[in-house]
Structure 1
Amino acid sequence: MKESEDKFFREISDILGHARDRAGKAINLVMVYSYFEVGKRIAEEEQNGDVRAKYGIHLIQDLSDYLTHHVGNGFSVTNLKQMRQFYLTYAQDQIGQTLSDQFKDLPAVSTGRKFVLSWSHYLKLMRIDDVNERHFYEIEAAKNNWSLRELNRQYDSGLYERLALSTDIEGMRKLAEKGQIIERSSDAVKDPYVLEFLGMEEKASYSESDLESHLIDNLQKFLLELGAGYTFVARQKRFTFHEDHFRVDLVFYNRLMQCFVLFDLKIGKLKHQDLGQMQMYVNYYDRYEKQDYENPTIGVLLCQDKDDAMVDLTLPEDSNIYASKYQLYLPDKEQLKKKLQQWTKELEGGENE
């Protein structure tokens, strides 16, 4: 009887816990929508005739005093200015219409725009000047249910720039309109992977098993870095072929691609023998583990350094094997931005020829 009561109590507790979470999210969304309308009214009032010359300089301060007295705390001059900036940032956001299409069940503000994240998220997003980059992070945060901390981490790791640098002009447009779309095996792989969350020093001496252990200890963060659709399957997955034993360092499954993704960890520079070994692992999984309804296995060699020319020469063009570098520190975001700007100019120049 006690066991059945405990099960019943847990079920009721879960129901109330989920309801509380939904209520909290609903309240946060109501605040966001309200702040947009407040920001709109402030912007309109400031632009009304000669209001700026006559009393515009005192408008927000006077409004702050009034709201604090009649409504309560939370309406400082700084907060009201943020609401105004929120409206100014998103009022003319035409690209945001695609976000509205993806969340049809949410209401829209007067401009037709919809909002799906918390106010704290939008305070971060408003500081991103590039509208394409800003919209990408908004979509990804919504799709992946990123906390503010996770959003900050993905932004600091240059996720948008890393993905954009691996695609073409049309792919960059899709990033801004739909976020990361997993359609091909290459879409599920990044280069480089940023592993600063491991807390390992770049120049420290460590082995492949040390790297593997740190990745397992930080599996949740590693899954976040891997991207959408990944689930963990096994560590040091053993298989036997003709009485020889082999072990795959890390095995994942991508639900969006419906395929296994094998990771082999390499310290130092990648060798052509490493590529051959991964080819064998992938072939084994395709022949003996993959089901008929699943897609071909993807192999990723995670290495400190590589020779791209050697990789291209070794692997066939239709290979499902990728060599990706990893780094143990956050990249220089400004350098990534400059590299992306140069890359974009080159792509656009090629299109115009």
Structure 2
Amino acid sequence: MTKKSVETINKSFVLDIRGIIEQSRRNAVRSVDFCRVQMYWNIGRRIQVEEQKGKKRADYGSFLLKNLSKELEPEYGSGFSVRQLEMCRRFYTLYPIANAVRSQLNWTQYRGLIKIDDPEKREYYELETINNAWTSRELERQIHSQLYERLLMSSDTPQEVIKDPMVLEFLGLERNPEYYERDLETAIINHLQRFLLELGNGFAFIARQRRILLEDDLARR
């Protein structure tokens, strides 16, 4: 192929090929991540089955994980520590049905989810992570900010929500009962992208200040 013919290749064609390559790479990563999740789920299931054999011994579970880790770590590394094996067991306990394990989530995200005892709360963060394509770090931050609890407090006024210690910490403001509106506005604008993420779905930045006309306002015109 001559230099001239290379230069005349359709740019959109090249972009299409690049898109195929990038998508395939992303699919490969997701495939590997899910295989890892399935591996830990199966390990958790097998551990629980084995524990049932020694259930008459109060310390059998601890004994089993400790010795299993000793067998696995030298060959497979720190990913099979006692702590990790405990997570595998809890993972299977919380997700005993294989089909309930979602391929869109990786193991790091599941590690964050299985720390949540409340099943409804856990499911909320699980679905939000998938719907909003949260990374593991974003999921951790949302859980730490108590997004679920704040959404349940539907009786809270805007003033109460904005004084939430987690929100104030996020905005970089000290706890002070007498905030001026301009202080909050400046802090919110400075942290806009992260602030909207903390509040969840249904928010969009249109302008620093914008008058909103309601149906009653239009009727009076």
Shared topology, TM-score over 0.5? yes
> Partners in 1 of 2:59 and 2:183 — Cα distance?
67
Shift of 1:86: 1.4
Question: 8 Å contact 1:215–1:222 — kept in the other structure?
Answer: yes
Shift of 1:10: 5.5
Query: What SS is found at the alignment partner of 2:205?
Result: strand
Question: 8 Å contact 2:41–2:91 — kept in the other structure?
Answer: yes
Report how many residues are paired. 207
> Partners in 1 of 2:54 and 2:176 — Cα distance?
62
Amino acid at match of 2:161: P
Question: 8 Å contact 1:162–1:191 — kept in the other structure?
Answer: no
Compared with structure 1, are the counterparts of its residues 135 and 56 closer, same or farther at alpha carbon in structure 2 (3 Å cutoff)? closer
> Partners in 1 of 2:160 and 2:127 — Cα distance?
21
| 1:241-289 superposed Cα distances (whole Å, 9 cap, x missing partner) | xxxxxxx2xxxxxxxxxxxxx7xxxxxxxxxxxxxxxxxx32389849x
Question: 8 Å contact 2:36–2:107 — kept in the other structure?
Answer: yes
> Partners in 1 of 2:136 and 2:8 — Cα distance?
39
Shift of 1:47: 0.9
CA RMSD between the two structures: 3.8
> Partners in 2 of 1:7 and 1:225 — Cα distance?
37
Shift of 1:35: 0.7
Match of residue 143, structure 2, among 152, 155, 168: 155
Stretches of structure 2 lacking an aligned partner (at least 5 in a row): none
Shift of 1:18: 3.5
Report what 2:82 is aligned to. 77
Report what 2:26 is aligned to. 21
Which deviates more, 135-144 or 65-74?
Answer: 65-74
Stretches of structure 1 lacking an aligned partner (at least 5 in a row): 92-107, 168-188, 237-247, 249-261, 263-280, 289-353
Shift of 1:40: 0.9
Matched, 1:62 2:67: yes
Alignment of 1:254-265 (within 5 A): none
Compared with structure 1, are the counterparts of its residues 198 and 10 closer, same or farther at alpha carbon in structure 2 (3 Å cutoff)? farther
Report what 2:213 is aligned to. 282
Report what 1:114 is aligned to. 101
Question: 8 Å contact 1:117–1:142 — kept in the other structure?
Answer: yes
Question: 8 Å contact 1:60–1:77 — kept in the other structure?
Answer: yes
Normalising by structure 2, report the TM-score.
0.72
Q: Which has the higher helix share?
A: 2
Matched, 1:212 2:217: no
Alignment of 1:169-318 (within 5 A): 192-193=161-162, 194-203=167-176, 208-236=181-209, 248=210, 281-283=212-214, 287=218
Matched, 1:134 2:122: yes
Compared with structure 1, are the counterparts of its residues 151 and 204 closer, same or farther at alpha carbon in structure 2 (3 Å cutoff)? same
Query: What SS is found at the alignment partner of 1:74?
Result: helix
Question: 8 Å contact 1:162–1:190 — kept in the other structure?
Answer: no
Report what 2:38 is aligned to. 33
Amino acid at match of 2:150: R
Normalising by structure 1, report the TM-score.
0.48
Report what 1:245 is aligned to. none
Shift of 1:161: 1.9
> Partners in 2 of 1:221 and 1:122 — Cα distance?
23
> Partners in 2 of 1:285 and 1:21 — Cα distance?
50
Report what 1:143 is aligned to. 131
Query: What SS is found at the alignment partner of 1:233?
Result: coil
Query: What SS is found at the alignment partner of 1:231?
Result: coil
> Partners in 2 of 1:68 and 1:79 — Cα distance?
11
